[in-house]
Amino acid sequence: VSLRAADQNVPAKELGDPQLKDLMAQTCQKMREAGLALAPAVEQLLAAGHASWYRDDPAALSARAYFDIAANTYRAVEMPAGVSSVAIAKKSRGVVKKNASASLVDLGDGVACIEFHSKMNAIGQDITAFVTQTLKPGSDALSNFEAFVISGDTSDFSVGANLMQLLLAVQEHDWYDIDLAIRSFQGMTQAIKFCAKPVVVAPFGMCLGGGAEIAIHGAARQAHAELYMGLVETGVGLLPGGGGSKEMTLRALEAANSVREGARGDSAEALEALRRCFETLAMAKVSMSAFEARKYGFLSNSDGVTMNRARVLTDAKARARELAGRGYIAPAMRTDIPAPGENALSTLKIGVQMMREGEYISDHDVRVANALAHVMCGGKITSNTPVSEQYLLDLEREQFLSLCGEKKTQERIAFTLKTGKPLRN
């Protein structure tokens, strides 16, 4: 068995013996001090004047080389067809720009990848500013690349917004800064959606809250089959405030229109689609796979699913190139959305009240669900009144701020940060 083969047989989250021996200098010294003999292969490596089993090799497709014991020299690490990673792209092409929480990496062929690297890829000001500046009209990135992918090499895409930062701001009653933060988050998701170049989002693992909001605003999605995706903000007493409530409302209305073309905002088709979407968000449902994410409306039928995690980035890049190659045209911000209005709002609220009377939910759950319904229906306005996407975003922000001021919401956020579990108060 070769060194490389032995290394590949170790699970991805563990280190094989050859990788552990990359701490060569310290390891060998301590073994000799302890009177232990080094393995013949290690002696051979040291005799050849090397101190590591692996080294970077920009000329290799994998950007890595390993020490071949039989040949007594380094050989390129071979990658199976279609397998790639952001780490490989960094070594072979370098990082275009970065800050503390995000990087822009050249994937080649006119495609760049936006990678998150904050703790658990939680989304804070560094990420929202980075994405917005990268994708805004006139940016250097738009001039230098034809398409973008948002993905990474970590086990989870993103656990959502940084709740600790939010809680601290709420406790300080810093409502102005919270409002700015929500506007910034909404600005980021709208920059993704309306970017002049296609932005393909490749979610994997946990893609929750703000992470899901990023994903649903992409021009397309290329998801890993193992995907735990959901807009879970109601679990902490909030609602999707980064454009998620607005975008899911649009999807519900589009679904109704696909059933019956020209369906009005108060049509039976629209109300049924809106009810299903509302339940998904109000109950903070999380998919157990990419295929269930389609069922919940987070992924569309045209979005791709990749079974092999190591191929997700390659497939996402191919999708981005495909969109760019056929003359991608960014959508225009809509101003003609037929608001479901007060009739639909009353219907949703009746359903919420029935859940409360059945003691399935608490009084605060009612408060949160009604706030979500208010946003999705466009507020207390006449059904079919044309509204804009910005109007729905403003409603989102207004209701999000209102919920932040609720003591029970603050208790939920604090409990979740402490235990990792939701609080039903």
The number of folded domains in the chain is: 2
Tell me how far apart the alpha carbons of residues 261 and 291 are, in angstroms, rounded to a whole number: 26
Task: State whether 280 and 207 are in the same domain.
Answer: yes
Q: What is the pLDDT of residues 355-371, one digit of tens each?
A: 999 999 999 999 999 99
Place of tokens 């079919």: 384
Task: State whether 197 and 177 are in the same domain.
Answer: yes
**162 pLDDT band (50/70/90 cuts)?**
very high
Torsion angle of C-alpha atoms 161, 228, 121, 112, degrees rounded to 10: -110
Task: State whether 50 and 124 are in the same domain.
Answer: no
The domain containing residue 385 runs over which residues? 86-419
Cβ-proximal residues to 251 (8 Å cutoff; 6+ apart), any chain = 216, 277, 297, 300
Q: 269, exposed or middle or buried, with CB in 10 Å at 0-12, 13-18, 19+? A: middle
Task: State whether 53 and 100 are in the same domain.
Answer: no
**406 pLDDT band (50/70/90 cuts)?**
very high
Q: Decide if 122 contacts 102 (C-beta within 8 A).
A: no
Q: Read out DSSP for 100-155?
A: SSEEEEEEETTEEEEEE-SGGG-B-HHHHHHHHHHHSTT-HHHHH-SEEEE--SSS
Task: State whether 134 and 271 are in the same domain.
Answer: yes
The encoded tokens of residue 81 equal 């067809």
3-state SS class at 381: coil
3-state secondary structure 148-181: EEECCCCCCCECCECHHHHHHHHHCCCHHHHHHH
For the chain, what's the residue count?
A: 425
Cβ-proximal residues to 137 (8 Å cutoff; 6+ apart), any chain = 196
Tell me how far apart the alpha carbons of residues 408 and 278 are, in angstroms, rounded to a whole number: 22
**262 pLDDT band (50/70/90 cuts)?**
low
Tell me how far apart the alpha carbons of residues 208 and 160 are, in angstroms, rounded to a whole number: 5
| More confident: 287 or 27 | 287
424 is a domain residue = no
29 is a domain residue = yes
**DSSP 8-state secondary structure symbol assigned to residue 337:** E
Q: Read out DSSP for 302-322?
A: TSEEESSGGGHHHHHHHHHHH
Q: What is the pLDDT of residues 91-137, one digit of tens each?
A: 888 899 999 999 999 999 999 999 999 999 999 999 999 999 999 99
Tell me how far apart the alpha carbons of residues 189 and 283 are, in angstroms, rounded to a whole number: 23
Task: State whether 139 and 215 are in the same domain.
Answer: yes
141 is a domain residue = yes
Q: What is the pLDDT of residue 173?
A: 95
* Beta bridge pairs of residue 56: 64
Q: What is the pLDDT of residue 224?
A: 99
Tell me how far apart the alpha carbons of residues 394 and 402 are, in angstroms, rounded to a whole number: 12
Letter string b/e over residues 232-253, b meaning 16 or more CB atoms within 10 A of that residue's CB: bbbbbbbbbbbbbbbbbbbbbb
* Beta bridge pairs of residue 223: 305
pLDDT above 60 (res 392): yes
Task: State whether 126 and 247 are in the same domain.
Answer: yes
**Whole-number mean pLDDT of the chain?**
92
Q: What is the pLDDT of residue 49?
A: 85
Tell me how far apart the alpha carbons of residues 189 and 128 are, in angstroms, rounded to a whole number: 9
What Rg, from alpha-carbon coordinates, does the chain have?
A: 25
Of 257, 282, 281, residue with least CA distance to 268: 257
81 is a domain residue = no
